[in-house]
């Protein structure tokens, strides 16, 4: 089975390379992180198919190409503080942990967060902090962030996230309607946010959770991998 995964992984990496993913550090992170450990058991044989797969709580683990494109667009050099909105399975979190100094990741579903924490711990990931919260509010206590990546779609760029982006920082976020979105790269410049369109995409919606935004459930909910 390990040999099969290795062969499938190499095939996927070649597919990503042909699709325009040329950042060797990003490809290296995708090679090192075992996606099979982040998918549900019933989808194990599809771990290295270039498709999104369902996980619990009606969420998904993103298509590897989308993970690679979003990560490449962040232009990580290794010393950045990154905020991730939507921990999900923890796969994107694990990729980011390979490329940044520290990753702060927010998930609104406690069950998903706990499972992601277990997976990251099993891989000895130590530079990640996880938090149960309303992702649209960000994590102001740890701001500013050099990079922000949002793995759920919003109808507009949330102002709290933009406010937490460091000068010259970069945010990658899908924006648009439920079934038709545009992946945006937002750079915080001296003259204000500068937006670049990266292409069409479809993500699950970014849900504003009133109860979590009150902060009552946030206390003591931090999980350190």
Residue range 54-85, pLDDT digits in tens: 999 888 999 999 999 999 999 999 999 999 99
Coil/strand/helix, residue 165: strand
User: Is the pLDDT reported for residue 164 higher than 90?
Assistant: yes
Consecutive H or E run containing 98: helix 91-99
Residue range 110-136, pLDDT digits in tens: 999 999 999 999 999 999 999 999 999
- More confident: 151 or 212: 151
The count of domains in the chain is 1
Burial of 191 (0-12, 13-18, 19+ CB in 10 A): exposed
Catalytic residues: 62
**104: domain range?**
2-224
pLDDT the model gives residue 179: 83
Indicate which CATH number applies to the domain containing 197: 3.40.50.150
Contact 138, 83 (CB under 8 A): yes
pLDDT the model gives residue 59: 87
> What does the block give as tokens for 36?
């099979």
HSE-CB at 26 with a 13 A cutoff on CA atoms is: 22
Q: Model pTM?
A: 0.91
- Spatial CB neighbours of 11, under 8 Å, sequence gap ≥ 6: 48
pLDDT the model gives residue 209: 67
């Amino acid at each position: 089975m390990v040999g099969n995964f290795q062969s499938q992984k190499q095939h996927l990496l070649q597919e990503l390379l042909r699709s325009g993913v040329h950042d060797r550090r990003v490809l290296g992170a995708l090679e090192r992180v075992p996606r099979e450990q982040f998918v549900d058991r019933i989808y194990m044989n599809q771990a290295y198919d270039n498709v999104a797969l369902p996980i619990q709580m009606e969420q998904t683990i993103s298509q590897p190409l989308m993970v690679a494109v979003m990560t490449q667009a962040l232009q990580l050099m290794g010393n950045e503080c990154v905020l991730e909105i939507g921990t999900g399975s923890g796969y994107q979190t694990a990729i980011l942990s390979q490329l940044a100094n520290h990753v702060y990741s927010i998930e609104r579903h406690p069950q998903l967060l706990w499972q992601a924490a277990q997976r990251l711990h099993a891989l000895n990931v130590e530079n990640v902090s996880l938090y149960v919260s309303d992702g649209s509010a960000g994590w102001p206590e740890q701001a500013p962030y050099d990079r922000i990546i949002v793995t759920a779609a919003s109808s507009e760029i949330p102002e709290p996230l933009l406010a937490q982006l460091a000068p010259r920082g970069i945010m990658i976020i899908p924006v648009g309607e439920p079934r038709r979105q545009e992946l945006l790269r937002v750079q915080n410049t001296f003259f204000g946010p500068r937006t670049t369109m990266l292409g069409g995409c479809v993500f699950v919606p970014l849900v504003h959770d009133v109860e979590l935004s009150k902060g009552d459930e946030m206390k003591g909910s931090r999980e350190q991998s």
